[in-house]
Structure 1
Amino acid sequence: MAQRSVRASLARAFLYLVLLSLLSTGIAILTLASSLRDAEAVNIAGSLRMQSYRLGYDLQGDRARLNEHLTQYNQSLRSEALLNPGRFWVPKEVRERYNAINDAWADMEHHIRQGDIAWYHDNIAGYVAQIDLFVLALQHYAERKMMQVVATSVVGFIAIFTLVFFTLRRFRHQVVAPLNKLMLASKSIERGKFAHPPLDTDLPNEIGLLARTFTRMADELQRLYRSLEDKVQQKTLSLQEANRTLEVLYSCSQALNVGTIDRHCFTQILQLVRQQEKVDYIEMLVGENWLLCEGTQQESVPWQSAAITQQDDELGQLRWQASVGSPPMPLMQSVASMLGRGLYFNQAQKHYQQLLLMQERATIARELHDSLAQVLSYLRIQLTLLKRAVPEENEPAQRIIGDFSQALNDAYRQLRELLATFRLTLQQADLPAALQEMIAPLRQQTDTTILLDCRMPTQALDAQQQVHLLQIIREAVLNAIKHAGAQEISITCTTSSTGEHTAAILDNGKGIASLSEPEGHYGLNIMHERAAQLGGRLTISRPAEGGTLIAITFRSSSSDNNDEK
């Protein structure tokens, strides 16, 4: 514990400085405060001369305002600004001059009220001379107060300067010089030289305590400095390993830094991890239907795995085998997390592309509704008017009108189906979720049970392929609801080991009457065209057990065959 604290010494010095400043400033402020009305007092005292002459003018002329002017004179003479002589700080000279004026004014007022003009004229000059002396006394009093302010400020400045000088001198000997030695010692230690000049450890303040502590600390540092060199070597090896890990993660992130994230990005990540971490085999399993792998499986090498997650949702598993040195688990967990984000962005991109396709189809639907639908409605109205205008007896004309009306109704119905198809909107990018979303309103339209079994990897399809597949399934389900009279409709989506995708829609209804498209209907043709857009084939059959089976078979791309399950 310091015997004479530097903080306490500085606090006392600053306290004395503050007290001196307050004292000198307070005296100056009080002096100036007492001078606030000096100018007013001089002005009023000077006005007494003019009022005295004005009273002499009133005695010689019209005396109507004499009493009013006497009242004003008495008010001016007894004004607060003229410094009541009873105040103890007012100089004796000012009080005597003020009392002399008061005494002389008593005689002057007496003769004025008696109208003694001759006496007033004889004594007015002496009275005014007394007023001048009073004004001069007030002036001298104000000047003395200003000199007092100046003297107080000078004395205060000298006292403060003296106190500051001795405080700084003591501070230099007890603080600055020891701190300079401490600074030199710290620079010596900074250069690795622990032999420094002795410090002022005998000072009875905080600097002495600091010097003693610093000396002990330097000895401890010298001991620790040697042991740190060994630890630095160990940390260097750890940092080299961390740098290699960062390089792997950076390469993986660059693989995902592309405009469109697809299966090739994920394959590239698996290749990078396998090459740089000496992994024998690594695979990425998403759900139960999508598998990407690199390397060759080893029967005798144990498996390790990390969950592929995105926002606490598990999307799949990252599994690997390493016969020589397993890669760090934090690295593989980071790679798995990166793959999860890649899957999320893949779905987001697919959803965005779906929205663009849906928007384009909605635009076509609006154009059809605003053009062709309006024309068909107009033709239906005109045909109704024509039917009323043609006599019932004209059977050939009535048959033609009936055939025309039937064809027009079929065209209008087909147009409504097209509009409903074009206006299909989906909010899900995942194929099973999108199928559920699409089937939900169809289930509300019928009592038929609609079953769904989707085991097709949604990552294998792009947005346009997925939309075409959804449209084909929707059209097939709608046909089964409208025409089959089925009690159950099942939808099955699978992917074979060769990468071939199949979607089958089977109902237990009465079966399709004809495998060819009826005249005036275009639903089957549209389904065949969509299948062609997918690069696949659409088949319609009547199973032996009854009902109708519609199947679409296609491949997402020729390069997917190698590694999709």
Structure 2
Amino acid sequence: MKSRSPLVNRITIVVCAVVLTSIVSMATTLAVSKSIEGNATAINLAGALRMGAFRLLAQAAGPGDNHNTAEPNISSFLDKYEASLFDRLITRAIPRTADHPLTNQYRAITSYWETTLRPGLENHPQGSPVSVEMHANTETYVDSVNQLVSMLERRTEARIGLLHLIQIISLAFSILIIVALFVDLRNRVLKPLRKLVSIAGAVGEQDFSQKANMTGSDELAQLGSAFDQMSSELALTYYELEERARSKTEELEKSHAALQLLHTASRNLFANHDLCSGAVPMLQELEELLGIGPIRLYLHDKEAAEPVEVVTTASTDRPFYCRDHHCNACLVSPEDYDELPIEDNDGRRLLLPIRTPGKLLGTLEVWYPAETGLSDTARRLLEILSDQLATAIFLERQITEEQQLTLAEERTVIARELHDSLAQSLSYLKMQVARLRRLNIEGDQKSAHESILEELSTGLNSAYRQLRELLATFRLKLDTPDLATAMRKTIEEFSTRLGKPVGLNYNLPPQALSPNEEIHTLQIIREGLANAVKHADATEVIVEILFESPQVKAKIRDNGKGLPVGEQPVNHYGLVIMQDRARTLGGQIVVKNRDSGGVEVILTFVPKSRHLIPTEAPST
């Protein structure tokens, strides 16, 4: 069974104390009143005994008439007086205790009456004067009675005084209990209630600093502790909600600003064909808004074993893919770079796929501080960014592929036209030269005629060979954004024609050249390889396509017999075409003999779509 609470216990104690005081007061009052009941009658009767004693003395001294029987004699008066002495109203006022002074006094009076006064009065002759002894005995008796009356009066007054004292004590005790009750109520009920009401009002006004700080184990102290705990929890909850609301507001503001940034940047991504210059400013603003970074973008290339980095927002060295050597947007000092949340500086990495339906284009790498983490809103914004980047990259690749397809179609048309017109004309001319050879010309003009026919045949064969090379080049298709696949196929083709493997050293970054620049570069290399295979009698041919600052350099080296001393051979148009293509690229081509033997063809040009800068790129 659950025990009572302290406050109820205190109230119960107070009520019990008041009730007990009342009961004790009433009981003692009743007992005292009962004890003095009949004392007034006893005092009156005892006082009458004094007068009765003198009356008996007078009766004994007065004349008597023995013949008058109607007149009572002294014995009847003595019996009547003795009846009054032993009256129940007097004896009831006498204590039952044997050694009580009042009992002793009453016993002495009755004994004196029975042994001295009554016998003396009975033996006194009727009508004779009262003797001195008799008078003295009566006086002694009356004094004893007076003393008894006085003792009864004092005893009654003492009982009344005791009754007054009990009433005063009860009243004082009741007042003390009531005062203690009011003090206790004020200290333990009223003050705590006022404090709790004040705290409740303060909480209603969002002031959680007030505390009850109540001690004790009663209900109000427990309620005060509960209020303090509630106030602390409300303060914590309120501050958490306020902080959460502020954080959400800031996050929404950041999200709104980021969405505006993404909206603005999306147009730049689709309008600007340069992914780096179009994405880096937007990514850096996004980093500042979301408190993240650096951000890197990697694209997948089928010719590279690892994803190729194409965009970064922070780098200590200029990236190899940089398009403008006057741009320093992504360059930071080593000290600032060490402060960024990267792997060695308590950073965490988020990888987001750059994909279109059914195709993975690349990966977006986002670094962020581990201590703050990455919010859901920031993650959603980065996912939106990855989708935009995927769309922009897909469209850029589609445009590039369409340009390559358009160029390939144009080249196919040219090749078909050349085959249908010029190739047939050359074939016709070769047949006519063969007919002229079969003519039997005699005389002095025979040698001159044969010399002319030989020159015509050589020129036609050279032109026909050049046309076949040109047709083969026009029919060549590029199925990747760079030269890697086309170069490997070309190397395989000429290795077969040479009968020995042709070496290849290729380190050109992906998407470094436009489709038109790729085609011209490939045609120059094919022309150089064709010359090396047909004219050089070489046993070793090496092709190098290098990325050197700030240009692209292509080399074809062989260990053959080299170029003849003097001018270019007659009717050999390959070198002229190569030089024309080099000028189209905005570069130059150098064809020279090597000191160790053989020929070296060197093509150098700066791509028109970018300003390449000094860097070292890994070879593939």
* Structure 1 position 300 matched with structure 2 position 351: no
Change (3 A) 1:481 1:308: farther
For residues 320 and 513 of structure 1, the distance between their equivalents in structure 2, rounded to whole angstroms, comes to 61
CA distance in 1, matches of 2:512, 2:391: 17
Native 8 Å contact 1:248 1:276 kept in 2: yes
C-alpha separation in 2, matches of 1:236 and 1:378: 83
What are the within-5 Å matches in structure 2 for residues 119-518 of structure 1?
Answer: 235-258=248-271, 262-263=273-274, 265-278=275-288, 287=308, 289-291=320-322, 294-297=330-333, 298-302=336-340, 304=342, 310-311=354-355, 315=362, 328=378, 331-332=381-382, 335=385, 338-339=388-389, 341-391=391-441, 394-496=446-548, 498-514=549-565, 516-518=567-569
Aligned-partner Cα distance in 1 for 2:366–2:566: 48
Which residue identity lines up with residue 454 of structure 2 in the other structure? G
Instruction: Give the direction of change, closer, same or farther, for the CA distance of 1:484–1:383 in structure 2 (3 Å limit).
Output: closer
**1:171 counterpart residue number:** none
Q: Which residue of 1 aligns with 2:588?
A: 537
Q: CA deviation at 1:536?
A: 0.7
Report the Cα distance in structure 2 between the residues aligned to 1:479 and 1:402, rounded to whole angstroms: 22
Q: Post-superposition shift, 1:299?
A: 4.1
**How far 1:501 moved relative to its partner?**
1.5
Change over 3 Å in CA distance of 1:487–1:495 after alignment to 2: same
- Cα distance between partner residues in 1 of 2:464 and 2:424: 10
Residues 502, 542 of structure 2: 8 Å contact kept: yes
- For residues 490 and 351 of structure 1, do their structure 2 counterparts lie closer, same or farther at Cα, with a shift above 3 Å needed? farther
**Amino acid of the structure 2 residue aligned with 1:524:** L
Check 1:241–1:368 CA distance in 2 against 1; reply closer, same or farther (3 A cut).
same
Q: Does 1:523 align with 2:611?
A: no
* Matched letter for residue 274 of structure 1: Q
Amino acid at match of 2:590: T
Measure, in 2, the Cα distance between the counterparts of 1:336 and 1:453.
34
The verdict on how the C-alpha distance between 1:262 and 1:256 changes in structure 2, with shifts beyond 3 A counting, is same
Cα displacement (A) at 1:538:
0.8
Match of 2:601 in 1: 550
- Counterparts of 1:12-51 in structure 2, within 5 Å, are none
TM-score where L is the length of structure 2: 0.47
RMSD (CA atoms): 3.8
Question: Matched residues, percent identical?
Answer: 31
Distance 1:486 1:309 in 2: 49
Partner Cα distance (1:310, 1:433) in 2: 24
The answer to whether the Cα contact below 8 Å between 2:353 and 2:386 also exists between their aligned partners in 1 is yes
- The farther-off stretch of 484-493 and 332-341 is 332-341
Larger radius of gyration: 2
CA distance in 2, matches of 1:322, 1:461: 38
Q: Distance in 1 between matches of 2:264 and 2:506?
A: 35
Q: 1:408 to 1:346 in 2, by over 3 A?
A: same
Cα distance in 2, alignment partners of residues 380 and 545 from structure 1? 39
Q: How many residue pairs were aligned?
A: 336
Residue type of the alignment partner of 1:268? G
Structure 1 unaligned spans of 5+:
1-225
Contact 2:295 2:364 in 1 (8 A): no
The SS at the match of 1:535 is coil
Displacement after TM superposition at 1:524 (Å): 0.9
Checking the alignment, whether the CA contact within 8 Å between 1:390 and 1:398 is kept in structure 2 is no
SS in 2 for 1:294: coil
| TM-score, L = length of structure 1 | 0.51
Alignment partners' CA distance in 2, 1:282 and 1:301: 15
How much has 1:313 moved relative to structure 2?
5.1
Structure 2: how far apart are the matches of 1:397 and 1:236?
Answer: 97
Shift in alpha-carbon separation, 1:433–1:546, aligned structure 2, 3 A: same
Letter in 1 for 2:321: W
Q: Note closer, same or farther for the CA distance 1:310–1:507 as it changes in structure 2 (3 Å cut).
A: farther
Q: Is the 8 A contact 1:301 1:322 kept in 2?
A: no
Rounded to whole Å, the distance in 2 between the matches of 1:318 and 1:277 is 12
> Which ranges in structure 2 are unaligned for 5 or more consecutive residues?
1-236, 300-307, 310-319, 324-328, 343-348
The question of whether the paired residues in 2 share the 8 Å contact of 1:390 and 1:397 is answered with: no
Question: 2:115 is matched with which residue?
Answer: none
Q: Note if contact 1:454-1:492 (Cα within 8 Å) is conserved in structure 2.
A: yes
- Tell whether the 8 Å contact from 1:426 to 1:437 is kept in structure 2 after alignment: no
Whether the aligned pair in 2 keeps the contact of 1:266 and 1:339 (CA below 8 Å) is no
**Aligned equivalents of 2:293, 2:241: Cα separation in 1:** 38
Deviation track 1:348-394 (CA, whole Å, cap 9, x = no partner) reads 32222122222212212222221122222222222222332333553
Cα pair 2:287 2:293 within 8 Å, conserved: no
What letter is aligned with 1:296?
V
Cα distance in 1 for partners of 2:367, 2:566 equals: 50
2:351 and 2:537 mapped to 1: Cα distance? 46
Report how far residue 229 of structure 1 moved. Answer: 8.4
Is residue 270–residue 392 contact of structure 2 (8 Å, CA) maintained in 1? Answer: no
SS of the equivalent of 2:330 reads strand
**SS of 1:277 mapped into structure 2:** helix
CA shift for structure 1 position 512: 3.4
CA deviation profile, 1:491-516 (whole Å, cap 9, x unmatched)? 222223x4321112222333333585
How many angstroms does 1:522 deviate by? 0.9
SS in 1 for 2:502: strand
Q: Flag the 1:341–1:440 CA change in 2: closer, same or farther, 3 A.
A: farther
Find the aligned partners of 1:334 and 1:551 in 2 and give their Cα distance: 46
Q: 1:364 to 1:488 in 2, by over 3 A?
A: same
Matches of 2:538 and 2:352, distance apart in 1:
42
* C-alpha deviation, 1:409, in angstroms: 2.3
> Aligned partners of 1:332 and 1:283: how far apart in 2?
12
**Which residue pairs with 2:23 in the alignment?**
none
